[in-house]
Chains A and B, each alone.
Chain A
Amino acid sequence: MIKEKVTIKNSAGLHARPSAQLVKLASKFKSDFYIHSYGYRVNGKSILGVMTLAAESGAELELELEGPDEEEALKAIKEAIENKFGMDEE
C-alpha cells in the first residue's frame, strides 16, 4: 500500500467534470483507490464518494492505493490532479 498527499489546484474545486475524470482514470487500474480528506475516507472509484468530498480549491487529499499496479496508478492520478485534469480555468 502506498499513500501520498496532493492539493486540488482547479480554482473551482473538484466539481463535476474533474470528479468524473478522476473516477474514470482510477477505474482503469486494478488497485483499490481510497481518498482521505479531513477525516473522511471515500472510494476513489465511486463518483458519489468523490462528490461527497466536495473538495474545494486548495483542499488537501491523501491518496491511498493498494494492488498490483499501485505505483503506476498513483503516478497517473497525481499527474492528472497536478495538471488540473487538463481543464482550462473558467
Chain B
Amino acid sequence: MSFSFDENTETTIKARSAASGISIGPALVIKAGSHKISPTAITESDIEAHKEKFCSARASLVQELQKMSGGLQDKSTAEIIEAQQQIIEDPEIKRSVFEIVEKKLLSVDFAVYETFSSFIEQLKESGSELFRQRIIDLEDIRDRYVSKVCDHATELKVPEGAILVASKISPTELVNYYEEGAGGLVLEKGGITSHAVIIAKSLGIPCLINADKATKVVSSNEMVILDADKGGLILDPSDEVLKEYAEKLKGAQVSVKADRAAGFETKDGFPFKLMANVEFEAELPRVSEMKAQGIGLLRTESLLFGKKLRKDVEDQEAFYTAMLENSEGPVTIRLFDIGGDKNARRPYKEANPFLGWRGIRLLLDEKKLLRSQLKAILTIAGKYPDRVKLLIPMISVVEEIDQVRDEIERMQGALLSSGTPIDENLPIGIMVEVPSVALSAFHFAKKVDFLSIGSNDLTQYTLAVDRGNEKIHTLFQHYHPAVLKLIKMTVKGGEKAGVNVSVCGELAGDEIGAACLMGFGINELSMVPNSLPAIYDLLSSRNKNDFDELAEKAVDLSSSEELEQLFREWKDQTA
C-alpha cells in the first residue's frame, strides 16, 4: 500500500515539502503563542486563591531561573538571570496584580497580563533607546508568568521524536523543541526559504509547509507520519502503514552517510569547497557529520532574539568560541543582519521592511551594537588566527564599506593598545544581495577581501518577490536566468579585483544552482548541511567544462522552466 497526497482525506493532509525526509512520532500541536488574555470576572471569595496562584507562580518562575543558571557560573549569564529575577520579583508587579484582583475583581491571569503590558507600553512610549531590547524580555517573562498562573502547563514536555504541528514557529522555538527531542515539523504557513524552514533543513528534520488547518485537525499525542518526500501527513496510521514507513526510514538512514574519501574535486581534478550555513550550536554535529569544510555563513541574529539575550561582548565571545572549537576550517561570521523578516517584534513598523532599515544600515546607526559585535569578533579572530572571516550584510553602496572598515580599524587599534592580540590579516567581505552590488561588483570588490553572494535576497530583490509571501511563492525562482546573470557579473567584478567570490544561500544547495555556479567559476559553496551529500555527488562526478557549458547556456535562457529542462538533459548527457 502506498500513499499519495493528491488531496486531503480523513487521514491525510496534503502539504508542500520544505525539507525532505520521513519522520514518525507523536504529534505535538503548538497553538498560536500570543497570550491574548481577556478579563474574566471573579468573586470576592476567589480573591485569596488568585493571589495565592500569583505567589506560587512567582516562586516557581524564580526556581526555574535558578535551575537554568545551575552550572553556568560566568558573570554575564549570572547578570541576565539576576535581571530576570528582579523583574519577576518586582514589588510593583505584585502590587498592581493584587490591586487588579482585589479591587477590579478580575482573574489573576488577566491581572498579570495587564500589569506587564502597561509597563511595556510605558517603556515604548518613553521613546528611549535604553530599554528597547528589554521589551522583548519583558514580553517573554509576561507570557511565562501568564501560562504559569493559568495552570495549563506549558513546560516543554516534548515526547521523543515528536512531530511539531504549528501555524508558524520562530527559529529559536524550533531549536528549543529540537533540543528537547522533536523530530519533525509541520507548518500551516511559511515559505520554502522562511527562516524556521531553513533551520529545520539545517537540523536535518523533515518539514512540511502549507499544511492547511493542520493545527485544527491534528491533536497532540496522536501518532502521525510525516512524509516530506511525498508531501503529506498521515494521521492515525494502521500498523501496516507504520511498518512500511519504519522500513523506509531504516533504508534512508544508511544512504545519508556519503563516503567522501575521494576528495573535493571535479572528475577532472578541479577543486571545490563545500561549507555549511549555521546559526545555532545545535546544528554543529550535523556540520561535521556531513563533512563540511568549514562554516561559510555563521548567522548571529540568534544572539539578539533567543530566549536569552546574549548581546554583551562576553556572551558573544562565548558563542563564537563554541562555534570555532566545535568545527573545523574557516568560520565566516556575519554581522547582525537584523531587519526584514528577522525582527518581528521591532517597535517601529516600516511599510517596506525589506527595503528599509536592515543589515548594515541599522548597524551603522546603532554604533554601540556594532562596536560590541566587532569587539567580540576581532578578539576571537585574534585567538584563532586565520580561521575567522568577517562578513558585512546588506551592503548597497560603497560608502557603507568605508564606514565599517573605519570602525573595524578603530576597534583593532583599541584592542592592540589594550594588549589584546588581533588577526592583522582578518579577511573582510560583503554580502552580494542587492542588485546594485552585482552590477558594479568591481567597485565594491576593490574595497574588500571577498564577496559572498546571498542568493535568497538577491533573488528577492531582482525579481521583486517577498520570499516570505506564500501567495507569490512560485515567483521566487532563485535560478532564474536574470539572477544567474547578476551572479556572473559579480564573478567578473571579483576576478578583475582579484578577490574570491563564494555563494551562501539556498541556490548553493540546489543541484541546478550549484552546477551553474561551478560553471561560473565559483567553487566555494555554503549551504544547509543536509544538502551537502547530493551537491558533492553532482560536482564530483562531472568535469569542469561540463559545468562551464551548462552555465554559458543558462544565462541566455528566458525562464527558469527552460533552465530546468536544459538541466535535465545536461544531467543525462553528462552522467
Contacts and interface: CB of A to CB of B under 8 A. Distances in A.
To the question of whether A and B form a pair in one complex, the answer is yes
Nearest to A20: B83
B91 A20 contact: no
A49 B96 CA distance: 12
A13 B130 contact: yes
Interface string A34-77: 00000000010111110110101000000000000000000000
B90 A48 contact: yes
Contacts of A23: 86
B91 A17 contact: no
B92 A51 contact: no
Given A20-B79, A20-B83, A52-B123, A45 B130 contact: no
Contacts of B93: 46, 48
B91 A51 contact: no
A12 B92 CA distance: 25
B313 to A, nearest CB: 9
User: How many B residues touch the partner, as a band?
Assistant: 10 to 19
Nearest to A43: B92
B91 A45 contact: yes
A25 to B, nearest CB: 12
Contacts, number: 55
Interface string B538-553: 0000000000000000
Contacts of A45: 91
A89 interface: no
Contact of B130 (A15, A24, A43, A90): A15
A51 B130 CA distance: 8
Interface in B64-85: 79, 82-83
Contacts of A17: 79
Contacts of A1: none
Given A46-B92, A52-B123, A54-B126, A16 B131 contact: yes
Contacts of B92: 43, 46, 48-49
B128 A48 contact: no
A74 to B, nearest CB: 19
A67 B93 CA distance: 22
B119 A48 contact: yes
Given A16-B83, A54-B128, A54-B131, A43 B123 contact: no
B223 interface: no
Contact of A47 (B79, B90, B128, B130): B90
B83 A52 contact: no
Interface of B: 79, 82-83, 86-87, 90-93, 119, 122-123, 126, 128, 130-131, 134, 138, 368
Interface of A: 12-17, 20, 23-24, 43, 45-49, 51-52, 54, 56, 90
The 3 closest A-B pairs by CB, nearest first: A54-B128, A46-B92, A47-B86
